[in-house]
Amino acid sequence: MKVSEIRYERIGIDEICDSMERITAKVKEAAAPGVIIGAREEYVALLKRFLTASQLSYARYTQNTADEFYRREKDYYDEITPRFQSLQRDYACAMLESRFRGELEKELNPLLFALYEAQKKSVSPAVISDMIEENRLVTEYSKLMAQMTFDFNGMKLPLPLLRKYMQDDSRRTRRDAYEALGEKLFEESGKLDSIFSGLVRVRDGMAKKMGYRSFTELGYYRMNRISYDENMVRAFRDGVARGIVPAVKRLKGRIAASMGIEKFMLYDNDVNIPGGNPKPVRDKDGIFREAQEMYRDMSAETAKFIDMMTGAEAFDVESRENKWGGGYCVCFPDYGQPFILANFNGTADDVNVMTHEAGHALADYLIAGTRFAYDLPYGAETAEVHSMSMEFFAWKYMERFFGENAAKYKFCHLADALSFIPYGCAVDEFQHIIYAEPELTPKQRKDAWNALEKKYRPYLSTQGMGYLSEGTRWQYQMHIYELPFYYIDYCLALTAALQFLGESQRDHAGAFAKYLKLVKRGGEERFPVLLAQAGLKSPFAEGALEKLAADAEEHIRRIS
Ligand code: ZN
């Protein structure tokens, strides 16, 4: 079935309430563990239906944010999701308190119970109206950004199209594109500040109502973090500042010298080679054709996967007015069908969609039929291992997309990956600061951002860039508004993906087999265990980041 033909059907809140109450009662009143196992299956079926409906309506809304019908449906799920989460919490508590818990852990998976603990701590009936308000603010931000257009060279461009010029070969074009960006953000800064202040206020309020010191603790539970805590993440960031920032500084120094740039500016940061980053030598259809060949060659599983995706027309990649500006992959569980949305703009990012987002889709596809796919989902860090590792496994095929510039592409990709890690840590530390001190003014928040830029990207200047020099780069980093504390996951995942890169250079087939095995485990192991099973080093291990930086530098030397 084609994705566009999947019939959307709203799932009513009354039905959800009735079903969840019945399922939870069964768990509580069960006279034998078998009854609870049966109740759990009913729960998973309901969860799948809910996810299918809400993700389908979300996907259709993002395909056209001006569509009245799906906008209303999205508002509907914004409103009922917190109530569903609260009912899920009741179910989780019943499972945790069951007198058959020992038998259930054995029959199911002990990690499921660790997740129930997190669910229990992540929501409370007392904060449902706050969660609805939070969702409303997130939607307001996402609408504001989707409908924002930037005046550039006589054109009015949405952000995804402006981004193309933000990484143009010509330094002047890049600077002008950033100027257009800064001017518009400045124009909207009142809204950007007030939406963010609203989000911080409502998140902090929820945390305090639930008895937490700050939103950070609650934010970790909401991310279902069962594999690492705030202290481990802090130690990781410190390790990045110590081990990776100096390597990136050296690398950026070399890149700046090769491009004849004396003062390295924010608008130079996305260009790595004189003459500009390589662009795909194929158009959209060509990229799809080559991607299909690539996945057919990679393995039997990926061949089946890409044929399924193509047959279902599970991609929407053309940039249009009113289309949401980012890229993502979602899954419609009742159909085992992933869907990818992106905004092609003629840069290397287009190819990354076919590797990164397709890596997510492959994972959804491979685990769709497994027992714990939906009530024991993998964490965001694991999801990004699926996608970012695929970007590197695809290196073998880059001639298909970049022709004679394939080596240049690899250099840029690796340079970007390595320099992303410090940026991701800045985004993460920023959020820790914001929620530790929720009373900061907009100006103080921006100053905090600028201080983090100095710590994590000391090689980069925003001097003379107007609004963007005022510590505002984070205002178009949508995760900070929409998905609090989802960002460090990219950094953690990259450390695994880079190890897969090293291994795939020595033995592609062997490394890919380990990768597939990891993907198929889904969320059934803790993150460090998944890594260990694949023979990868944990990013939390002593010295791991220094080793990673040294390997990456060595690799970059070899390919440049
Ligand atoms: Zn991703």
Confidence label for 161 from pLDDT (cuts 50, 70 and 90) = confident
Expressed in angstroms and rounded, the spacing between residue 305 Cα and the centre of ligand 1 is 18
- Among candidate residues 99, 120, 141, the one where a domain is terminated: 120
For residue 507, tell me if it sits in a domain.
Answer: yes
Expressed in angstroms and rounded, the spacing between residue 261 Cα and the centre of ligand 1 is 32
Expressed in angstroms and rounded, the spacing between residue 88 Cα and the centre of ligand 1 is 26
Rounded to an integer, the average pLDDT of 125-150 is 92
Expressed in angstroms and rounded, the spacing between residue 424 Cα and the centre of ligand 1 is 13
Of all residues in the chain, what percent carry a pLDDT higher than 90?
92
Q: 98 and 182 in one domain?
A: no
Instruction: Tell me how far apart the alpha carbons of residues 541 and 235 are, in angstroms, rounded to a whole number.
Output: 10
Q: Which residues span the domain enclosing 498?
A: 284-404+487-544
pLDDT confidence of residue 545: 95
Expressed in angstroms and rounded, the spacing between residue 42 Cα and the centre of ligand 1 is 30
Sign of CA dihedral 430, 434, 437, 441: positive
In sequence order, the 6+-apart residues with CB closer than 8 A to the CB of 386 are 359, 360, 362, 363, 378, 519
pLDDT confidence of residue 479: 95
Expressed in angstroms and rounded, the spacing between residue 213 Cα and the centre of ligand 1 is 30
Q: 86 and 20 in one domain?
A: yes
| DSSP percent split of the chain into helix, strand, coil, nearest 5 | 70, 5, 25
pLDDT digit string, tens, across residues 302-356: 999 999 999 999 999 998 888 887 889 999 999 999 999 998 988 898 999 999 9
pLDDT confidence of residue 248: 97
Q: How far is CA 347 from CA 129, 167, 281, 288, 351, in A?
A: 42, 9, 10, 15, 8
Expressed in angstroms and rounded, the spacing between residue 328 Cα and the centre of ligand 1 is 7
- Among candidate residues 162, 187, 212, the one where a domain is terminated: 187
Q: 304 and 180 in one domain?
A: no
Expressed in angstroms and rounded, the spacing between residue 218 Cα and the centre of ligand 1 is 23
Expressed in angstroms and rounded, the spacing between residue 263 Cα and the centre of ligand 1 is 32
Expressed in angstroms and rounded, the spacing between residue 34 Cα and the centre of ligand 1 is 38
Expressed in angstroms and rounded, the spacing between residue 493 Cα and the centre of ligand 1 is 10
Of all residues in the chain, what percent carry a pLDDT higher than 70?
100
Expressed in angstroms and rounded, the spacing between residue 358 Cα and the centre of ligand 1 is 9
Q: How far is CA 392 from CA 24, 326, 396, 497, 515, in A?
A: 44, 21, 8, 7, 11
pLDDT confidence of residue 327: 87
Q: 167 and 69 in one domain?
A: no
Please tell me the least confidently modeled range out of 8-12, 46-50, 159-163. 159-163
Expressed in angstroms and rounded, the spacing between residue 417 Cα and the centre of ligand 1 is 13
Expressed in angstroms and rounded, the spacing between residue 205 Cα and the centre of ligand 1 is 30
Q: 91 and 13 in one domain?
A: yes
Could you tell me if 295 and 358 are in contact, meaning their C-beta atoms sit under 8 angstroms apart?
A: yes
> Quick check: helix, strand or coil at residue 371?
coil
pLDDT digit string, tens, across residues 386-438: 999 999 999 999 999 999 999 999 999 999 999 999 999 999 999 999 999 99
Between 347 and 560, residue with greater pLDDT? 347
For residue 341, tell me if it sits in a domain.
Answer: yes
What is 474-524 written as a DSSP string?
A: GGG-HHHHHSTT-SHHHHHHHHHHHHHHHHHHH-HHHHHHHHHHHHHTTTS
Expressed in angstroms and rounded, the spacing between residue 485 Cα and the centre of ligand 1 is 14
Q: What is the mean pLDDT of the chain?
A: 95
Q: 116 and 64 in one domain?
A: yes
pLDDT confidence of residue 345: 85
For residue 481, tell me if it sits in a domain.
Answer: no
In sequence order, the 6+-apart residues with CB closer than 8 A to the CB of 539 are 236, 239, 491, 492, 495, 496, 545, 548
Could you tell me if 293 and 303 are in contact, meaning their C-beta atoms sit under 8 angstroms apart?
A: no
Could you tell me if 192 and 148 are in contact, meaning their C-beta atoms sit under 8 angstroms apart?
A: no
Instruction: Tell me how far apart the alpha carbons of residues 193 and 52 are, in angstroms, rounded to a whole number.
Output: 34
Expressed in angstroms and rounded, the spacing between residue 350 Cα and the centre of ligand 1 is 14
For residue 506, tell me if it sits in a domain.
Answer: yes
Residue 79 has pLDDT above 90, yes or no: no
Expressed in angstroms and rounded, the spacing between residue 329 Cα and the centre of ligand 1 is 8
Rounded to an integer, the average pLDDT of 73-81 is 91
Rounded to an integer, the average pLDDT of 129-157 is 93
For residue 317, tell me if it sits in a domain.
Answer: yes
Pairing type for strands 337-344 and 315-318 reads parallel
pLDDT confidence of residue 486: 94
For residue 414, tell me if it sits in a domain.
Answer: no
Expressed in angstroms and rounded, the spacing between residue 71 Cα and the centre of ligand 1 is 24
Return the number of other C-beta atoms located less than 10 Å from residue 477's C-beta.
16
For residue 311, tell me if it sits in a domain.
Answer: yes
pLDDT confidence of residue 130: 95
Q: 54 and 164 in one domain?
A: no
pLDDT confidence of residue 324: 85
Residue 203 has pLDDT above 90, yes or no: yes
Q: Is 386 exposed, middle or buried (0-12, 13-18, 19+ CB in 10 A)?
A: buried
Q: 388 and 501 in one domain?
A: yes
- DSSP letter at 332 equals E
Our count of domains for the chain comes to 3
Q: 400 and 540 in one domain?
A: yes
Q: 154 and 77 in one domain?
A: no
Instruction: Tell me how far apart the alpha carbons of residues 100 and 39 are, in angstroms, rounded to a whole number.
Output: 14
Expressed in angstroms and rounded, the spacing between residue 14 Cα and the centre of ligand 1 is 34
Q: 181 and 67 in one domain?
A: no
For residue 233, tell me if it sits in a domain.
Answer: no
Expressed in angstroms and rounded, the spacing between residue 443 Cα and the centre of ligand 1 is 31
Q: 156 and 22 in one domain?
A: no
Residue 505 has pLDDT above 90, yes or no: yes
**CB burial readout 22-54, b (16+ within 10 A) else e:** ebbebbbebeebeebeebbeebbebbbbbbbbb
DSSP H or E run through 542: none
